[in-house]
Amino acid sequence: MTTALPAPLRFMPDVWRGRRDPVRVPAVSTGHAPLDRRLPGRGWPLGALTELLAGSPGAGEFSLLLPALAELSSRGEWVTLVDPPWIPYPPAMRGHGVAMERLMLIRTGSAQESLWACEQALRGVQGGAVLAWPADPGFTRLRRLQLAAKEGRRAAFMFRAATVATQPSPAVLRLQVDADAAGSRVRILKCRGRRPGRSLLIRRAPCLPGLHALATPAADREPAPGQPKPSGHEAPAAETHVH
């Protein structure tokens, strides 16, 4: 026996519908077909906050986003990185299709400034994506970022340690990423509009000639929690300092 949902709930993407297909939500393809099939919008949700929880640094959590970043930047939309623990390596990013002229790197002087910069970037320009590595944002600040992403219709990605997986979060999507010999093992912890399933393997893409690294360590700054202390320097495509 099936019962129709009340009219006000019928088109709300946040409502889980059991075996029924969820309402489609605005999204950009992840570039990974097995992952797209697990997500309600068949991709990374736009106008929403996504958390990527890494079991260990370099588990593939950043490269997981490269196909989407290539798609967004090729459409002329901005990709903004706020205080990454590593500085992007331009030749490798270009090799994966990212338009470097649409990549902006923001450096701040404190955790508070970093979160402020994230919110301003999300509210400032419609479309595109904001990637951030917050130290300890807290539920209230994450909620503000979720609302800012919705208002700006941008995709917001927060990279955090897997140790926060048991903490509540307002993020629309939460994934845990662990390193695997063949690529990255992805487990959906939270997904609005659909019940999380078992983990899946995202196989590592073949390396392009001469492109063995996506990033180089950032110089003269403290790493994010759980990240190794960086050294060395590589000039970013664009850089903005917040004081």
Domain membership flag for residue 10? no
d(CA 156, CA 150): 9
102 vs 4: CA distance, rounded Å: 45
Q: One-letter amino acid identity for 193?
A: G
pLDDT the model gives residue 124:
84
- pLDDT of 243 higher than 70: no
In a domain, 30, yes or no: no
Q: How many domains does the chain have?
A: 1
Percent of the chain predicted with pLDDT > 70? 72
Question: 199 lies in a domain?
Answer: yes
Q: Does residue 12 lie within any of the structural domains?
A: no
pLDDT digit string, tens, across residues 137-160:
999 999 999 999 999 999 999 999
Given a cut of 90, whether residue 73 has pLDDT beyond it is yes
**Domain assignment of residue 28, yes or no:** no
**pTM (global) more than 0.75:** yes
Per the CB < 8 A criterion, the answer to whether 121 and 82 are in contact is yes
Residue 39 lies in a domain: no
Specify the pLDDT at position 6.
53
Which residues are paired to 183 by β-bridges?
180, 203
Please report, to the nearest 10 degrees, the dihedral formed by the alpha carbons of residues 114, 119, 120, 123 taken in order: 160
Task: Identify how many contiguous H helices and E strands the chain contains and give both numbers.
Answer: 6, 13
What CATH number is associated with residue 73? 3.40.50.300
* Boundaries of domain holding 94: 46-165+173-242
β-partners of residue 189 are none
Q: Which two tokens stand for residue 61?
A: 């959590």
On whether residue 18 sits in a domain, the answer given is no
pLDDT of 15-45, one tens digit each? 444 444 455 679 999 999 999 999 988 999 9
Residue 214 within any structural domain of the chain: yes
- pLDDT at residue 129, as a whole number: 97
What count of other Cβ atoms lies within 10 Å of the Cβ of residue 191?
20
CB distance 184 to 60 below 8 Å = yes
